[in-house]
């Protein structure tokens, strides 16, 4: 995939869908590559060891016996062989070390649960590339990048760990994940309940498929965040799209816009203007996801409550077009230049050149078909409908594959999942992905936890002095459920062996 394909890649997210919600961790990865300074660091150094396991490239076919090395991390400082547990992070679309560093919750609860922490990298991401540098070459090499193959990797890895680590065999394993990784955690419990006793699926939009939820919920939620974060904020953004169009039509408009927004590469035509709008839209989407209550560096180094900071520049929608765009620049600058070291803004760098981006683009073009739309009335974005045909055509151009939009529901059940047990679905109300998530209890053991002041999987992040009470409560509920699953596991094990375990 050279430079040219990357532009095409942008198109997949930016053209057919609405304002381009690319899964979070994907962008997260990108920010790692772009940003040069880290303002926020974890307070404790994380100690883990790095391992590799040989996995079949194809678990579901026997024509090839080819294997590849899947990377995983282990942290066992607090693990107890006696009455302990295994917390298994179901890696999603990015480098596993980065996820490990951004999932402080697991580290924070390890001692209490006497837990070994395992972070498993998702195939086709990070170092776990089935065909090395050829992994993204064409649809033939990408053919084994599916959620089913990833879950099978996890299942085989856990069986391997139980077989080879003394003391691990008779311990309960709990799956944890956020975002796409949260979907994987939930699906893992649904499909492999013999391997994990339960799952914490944080900010997992398992219903953002087909017609399960309206395609507009996502952009509406982003808009609500901006509306609540400052007077006239969403209205200013809403007005900005026409302002850009009007400015772009003027004689020196493109040049003026390029300079006012400090773009690294000047705009030269109307297609560039569309790219600019898409890039700005995605910036607002990103901000909604990472609207955390403290200074952080998830997608970018950012101040506490970044949307509030952004909105300080967007109080007045009724100014001239040029003043409005100068304000928009100030707002964008909060996101792209909190470090103060960025000299220009690069509008081709929201979907990045990282492997993660390629992998997710393919997944979005095959299984992970999430319809998005905006109408400019319920949300602050330009109207854009969901057009599966265009989407499919773009996918075919990009990867030579066509999406199967109903497959995920066929495979994982859509709304009809009540026969499963022991899954926690947690969602932050600030997080636009919560619209496609489970936010009401389904049964006693399929529970929803809603965090009013939470953005994208805030609960999975490390404890912080500025954490709102709602996330502290959520985490404590999550631990309570996990303890119950562990207790039930040992009780059932004791029944089998005629002994009782004294635990917790």
Minimum distance from CB of 198 to its own copies (Å)?
10
Minimum distance from CB of 411 to its own copies (Å)?
8
- Strands of the sheet containing 446-451, edge to edge, are 49-56, 67-75, 115-120, 85-90, 173-178, 198-202, 423-428, 446-451
| Interface map 483-502 toward its own copies (x if CB under 8 A) | ---------x----------
Minimum distance from CB of 60 to its own copies (Å)?
5
Stretch that binds its own copies, among 108-116, 177-185, 340-348, 406-414 (CB under 8 A): 406-414
| Interface map 19-58 toward its own copies (x if CB under 8 A) | -------------------------------------x--
Minimum distance from CB of 17 to its own copies (Å)?
19
Within 61-100, the residues that bind its own copies by CB under 8 A are 61-63, 65
CA atoms of 129 and 86, how far apart (whole Å): 25
How far, rounded to the nearest angstrom, does the alpha carbon of residue 28 sit from its chain's CA centroid? 8
Q: How many residues bind its own copies (CB under 8 A)?
A: 41
Among positions 5, 40, 83, 139, the unique one binding its own copies when judged by CB under 8 A: 139
CA atoms of 249 and 238, how far apart (whole Å): 19
| 410 lies in the site for its own copies, by CB under 8 A | yes
Q: Which long-range contacts (CB under 8 A, 24 or more apart) does 445-451 make?
A: 445/421, 446/417, 446/418, 446/420, 446/421, 446/422, 447/423, 447/481, 448/424, 449/424, 449/425, 449/474, 449/477, 449/478, 450/426, 451/426, 451/427
| 212 lies in the site for its own copies, by CB under 8 A | no
CA atoms of 471 and 458, how far apart (whole Å): 7
Q: Exposure pattern of 69-99 as b/e (b: 16+ CB <10 Å)?
A: ebbbbbbbebbbeeebbbbbbbbbbbbbbbb
3 state DSSP class of 428: strand
| 440 lies in the site for its own copies, by CB under 8 A | no
CA atoms of 367 and 353, how far apart (whole Å): 22
Is the distance from CB of 238 to CB of 318 less than 8 angstroms?
Answer: no
| 416 lies in the site for its own copies, by CB under 8 A | yes
Among positions 55, 85, 128, 149, the unique one binding its own copies when judged by CB under 8 A: 149
Q: Which residues contact 44 (CB under 8 A, 6 or more apart)?
A: 107
Is the distance from CB of 96 to CB of 181 less than 8 angstroms?
Answer: no
Based on CB atoms, which residue is closest to its own copies, 28 or 184? 184
| 193 lies in the site for its own copies, by CB under 8 A | yes
Among positions 227, 420, 475, 481, the unique one binding its own copies when judged by CB under 8 A: 420
Stretch that binds its own copies, among 149-157, 172-180, 226-234, 478-486 (CB under 8 A): 149-157
- Write out the catalytic residue numbers: 179, 431, 456
| 389 lies in the site for its own copies, by CB under 8 A | no
Among positions 419, 441, 476, 500, the unique one binding its own copies when judged by CB under 8 A: 419
Minimum distance from CB of 155 to its own copies (Å)?
5
| 407 lies in the site for its own copies, by CB under 8 A | yes
Is the distance from CB of 204 to CB of 187 less than 8 angstroms?
Answer: no
| 402 lies in the site for its own copies, by CB under 8 A | yes
For residue 386 the two structure tokens come to 């969901």
Based on CB atoms, which residue is closest to its own copies, 149 or 427? 149
Phi-psi region of 425 (alpha: psi -120 to 50; beta: other; left: phi over 0): beta
Of the candidates 40, 41, 51, 39, the residue with the CA atom closest to the CA atom of residue 76: 51
Of the candidates 388, 219, 247, 224, the residue with the CA atom closest to the CA atom of residue 307: 224
| Interface map 266-305 toward its own copies (x if CB under 8 A) | ----------------------------------------
Based on CB atoms, which residue is closest to its own copies, 37 or 419? 419
Among positions 3, 4, 41, 194, the unique one binding its own copies when judged by CB under 8 A: 194
| 59 lies in the site for its own copies, by CB under 8 A | yes
Among positions 143, 312, 385, 387, the unique one binding its own copies when judged by CB under 8 A: 143
| 413 lies in the site for its own copies, by CB under 8 A | yes
Contact positions vs its own copies (CB under 8 A): 56, 59-63, 65, 139-140, 142-144, 146, 148-149, 152, 155-156, 159, 191-195, 366, 401-402, 404, 406-407, 410-411, 413-414, 416-421, 492
């Amino acid at each position: 995939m050279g430079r040219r394909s990357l532009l095409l890649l942008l198109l997949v997210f930016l053209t057919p869908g609405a304002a381009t919600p690319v899964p979070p961790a994907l962008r997260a990865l990108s920010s790692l590559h772009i940003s040069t300074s880290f303002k926020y660091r974890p307070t404790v150094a994380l100690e883990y060891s790095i391992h590799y396991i040989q996995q079949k490239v194809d678990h579901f076919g026997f024509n090839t016996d080819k294997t590849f090395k899947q990377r995983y991390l282990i942290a066992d400082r607090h693990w107890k062989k006696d009455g302990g547990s295994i917390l298994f992070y179901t890696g999603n679309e990015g480098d596993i070390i980065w996820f490990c560093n951004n999932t402080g919750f697991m580290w924070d609860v390890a001692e209490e649960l006497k837990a070994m922490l395992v972070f498993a990298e998702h195939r086709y991401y990070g170092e776990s590339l089935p065909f090395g540098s050829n992994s993204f070459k064409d649809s033939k090499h990408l053919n084994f990048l599916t959620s089913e193959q990833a879950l099978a990797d996890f299942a085989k890895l856990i069986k391997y760990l139980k077989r080879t680590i003394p003391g691990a065999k008779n311990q309960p394993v709990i799956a944890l994940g956020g975002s796409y990784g949260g979907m994987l955690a939930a699906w893992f419990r649904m499909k492999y309940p013999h391997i994990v006793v339960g799952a914490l699926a944080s900010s997992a939009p398992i219903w953002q498929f087909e017609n399960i939820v309206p395609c507009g919920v996502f952009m509406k939620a982003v808009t609500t965040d901006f509306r609540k974060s400052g007077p006239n904020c969403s209205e200013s953004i809403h007005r900005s799209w026409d302002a850009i169009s009007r400015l772009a039509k003027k004689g020196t408009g493109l040049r003026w816009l390029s300079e006012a927004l400090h773009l690294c590469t000047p705009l030269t035509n109307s297609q560039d203007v569309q790219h600019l709008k898409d890039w700005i839209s995605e910036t607002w989407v990103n901000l909604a996801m990472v609207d955390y209550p403290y200074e952080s560096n998830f997608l970018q180094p950012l101040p506490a409550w970044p949307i509030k900071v952004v909105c300080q520049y967007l109080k007045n929608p009724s100014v001239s077009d040029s003043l409005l765009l100068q304000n928009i620049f100030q707002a964008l600058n909060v996101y792209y230049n909190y470090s103060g070291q960025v000299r220009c803004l690069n509008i081709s760098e929201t979907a990045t050149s990282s492997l993660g981006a390629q992998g997710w683009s393919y997944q979005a073009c095959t299984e992970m078909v999430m319809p998005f739309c905006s109408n400019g009335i319920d949300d602050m974005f330009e109207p854009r409908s969901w057009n599966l045909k265009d989407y499919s055509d773009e996918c075919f151009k990009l990867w030579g594959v066509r999406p199967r939009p109903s497959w995920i529901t066929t495979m994982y059940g859509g709304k009809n999942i009540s026969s499963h047990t022991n899954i926690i679905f947690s969602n932050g109300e600030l997080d636009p992905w919560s619209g496609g998530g489970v936010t009401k209890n389904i049964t006693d053991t399929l529970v929803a936890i809603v965090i009013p002041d939470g953005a994208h999987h805030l609960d999975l992040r490390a404890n912080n002095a500025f954490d709102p009470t709602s996330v502290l409560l959520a985490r404590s509920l999550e631990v309570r459920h996990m303890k119950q699953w562990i207790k039930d596991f040992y009780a059932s094990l004791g029944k089998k062996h005629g002994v009782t375990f004294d635990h917790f």
